[in-house]
Amino acid sequence: MPDNPELASEYSAFRDGLVDADFLVRSDIDGLYGRTDKFEDIIEGIDRLVVELGSDQNAKVLRFPPVMPTTVFEKTDYLASFPDLTGSIHTFTGNDKAHAQLLQVHSDGGDWTDLLDPSGEMLIPAACHPTYPLLTGTLPEGGRKLDVYGYCFRHEPSIDPTRMQAFRMHEYVYVGTPEGALAHREQWAPRGLKLLTDLGMTPEKVVANDPFFGRAGRMLAVNQRDGELKYELVVQTYPGQMTAVVSVNYHEDHFGKPFNIKSADGAVAHSSCVGFGMERIALALLATHGLDTAIWPESVRELIYP
C-alpha cells in the first residue's frame, strides 16, 4: 500500500514533531527509528494495560528474538501474500579469497550484499509465527493460549511514522477448535475496543484491508474480506485517515494444517489471535492527545503513567 500522497505533508509534519519532541530519532531509512525513553514509557504503559486484559487467559508466555528459521516462514502463506514485505537474512559464507573479493567490491562502491548467501533465517513478520512449530501434535482439551510479544519486520518504507518497518506486536493466540478460535476472537475485539476507548480514542472495528501483493493477492484479499477473517480496530491518526492499531484474526486451519496441529478431538486445529500494534497505539495516542504528554487527559495519564 503506497502512502496517500495527499497526506504526505501531514505524515512528515507528524514525524518531525515526534523527533523534535524527543519521542523518536530518525535514521537514513524511512520507517526505521530509534525510540527514546519518553516513547518507551508510553509503550510500557500500554503494555501494562494489555497484560492486564490478558491476565485471565492462562496463556503460556513466550518471547522470541526478531529472527526465525526460514522453514517456519515457508509453511505460511506469507511468500504468496506479502513477498514485498519479507526480510530474508543473508550472510557471508566464503573463504579468505572470497572475503578479499567482497571487500574489493565494497571499496569499489559495488553492492557487496548481493554476494552474500541466504542464512536460512527470516525476520519475523508477525509475532505469533514462531509459535506454531512448537504446537505440532495433538493439543490438550480446550486448546492452548499463548502470550507472545516481540519485534516484527515488514519492508514497507514510508514517511508515515505509523508505518514502521520494525515494530512490536503483543499477541494473544488461541489454537484449538474452530469454535474456540472464533470465541477467542469475539472475546478480544471488545477488549481491544475498550482499551482504546479508555485511552481517550474513538476506535472503530472494520473488516481488514491487508496489502496483499499482485494479482494472486487480489484474490486472497477478496477471500479475507468476504470470509471476514480479519478485523482491525482503527483510530484516526491524520485528518480523514484511520490507522489500524489492533487486529483480531481468525486463521481457520491456515497454521494448523501446515504445522500439523490437531485439536483434542483429532481434527486439524484452527487458530485465532489478537495483535496489539504497540508503536501504532503509542503514536495514535500522541496524534489524539498531542505531543505534550503533561497535558494529556488525566484519565489517560493515570493509565499510561500509573
What residues between 149 and 208 interact with a second copy by CB under 8 A?
Answer: 151, 153, 155, 164-167
Q: CA dist 303 to 48, 193, 286, Å? A: 9, 15, 14
What's the closest the beta carbon of residue 177 comes to a second copy, in angstroms? 24
CA gap 270, 121 in Å, rounded: 26
Stretch in the footprint of a second copy (CB under 8 A) among 6-14, 27-35, 179-187, 295-303: 27-35
CA gap 277, 232 in Å, rounded: 11
The CA angle 284-281-38, to the nearest 5 degrees, is 85
How many residues of this chain interact with a second copy, rule: CB under 8 A? 72
For a second copy, the binding residues in 248-277 under the rule CB under 8 A are none
Which grid coordinates are listed for 305?
A: 503513567
Is residue 211 part of the contact set for a second copy (CB under 8 A)? no
How many other β-carbons are positioned within 10 Å of the β-carbon of residue 53?
18
Q: In this complex, which beta carbon is closest to a second copy, that of residue 214 or of residue 297?
A: 214
Answer for the pair 198, 303: CB distance below 8 angstroms, yes or no: yes
Q: In this complex, which beta carbon is closest to a second copy, that of residue 129 or of residue 185?
A: 129
What is the pairing mode between strands 261-262 and 137-138? parallel
How many other β-carbons are positioned within 10 Å of the β-carbon of residue 230?
22
One-letter amino acid of 267: A
What's the closest the beta carbon of residue 1 comes to a second copy, in angstroms? 16
Q: In this complex, which beta carbon is closest to a second copy, that of residue 185 or of residue 280?
A: 280
What's the closest the beta carbon of residue 198 comes to a second copy, in angstroms? 25
Q: In this complex, which beta carbon is closest to a second copy, that of residue 167 or of residue 250?
A: 167
What's the closest the beta carbon of residue 231 comes to a second copy, in angstroms? 27
Nearest 10 degrees: Cα torsion 61, 64, 68, 73? 40
For a second copy, the binding residues in 108-137 under the rule CB under 8 A are 111-114, 116-121, 123, 130-131, 133-134
What's the closest the beta carbon of residue 9 comes to a second copy, in angstroms? 24
First to last CA, the chain: 37
Q: In this complex, which beta carbon is closest to a second copy, that of residue 60 or of residue 194?
A: 60
**Among 13, 34, 58, 267, interactor with a second copy by CB under 8 A:** 34
CA gap 269, 43 in Å, rounded: 33
For a second copy, the binding residues in 49-108 under the rule CB under 8 A are 60-72, 74, 79-80, 83-93, 95-96, 99-100, 102-103, 106
Q: In this complex, which beta carbon is closest to a second copy, that of residue 215 or of residue 294?
A: 215
Which grid coordinates are listed for 184?
A: 477467542
What's the closest the beta carbon of residue 204 comes to a second copy, in angstroms? 28
CA gap 57, 137 in Å, rounded: 22
Which grid coordinates are listed for 107?
A: 571499496
What's the closest the beta carbon of residue 117 comes to a second copy, in angstroms? 8
Q: CA dist 126 to 230, 264, 275, 279, Å? A: 14, 26, 9, 14
Q: In this complex, which beta carbon is closest to a second copy, that of residue 62 or of residue 189?
A: 62
For a second copy, the binding residues in 212-251 under the rule CB under 8 A are 213-216
Q: In this complex, which beta carbon is closest to a second copy, that of residue 10 or of residue 156?
A: 156
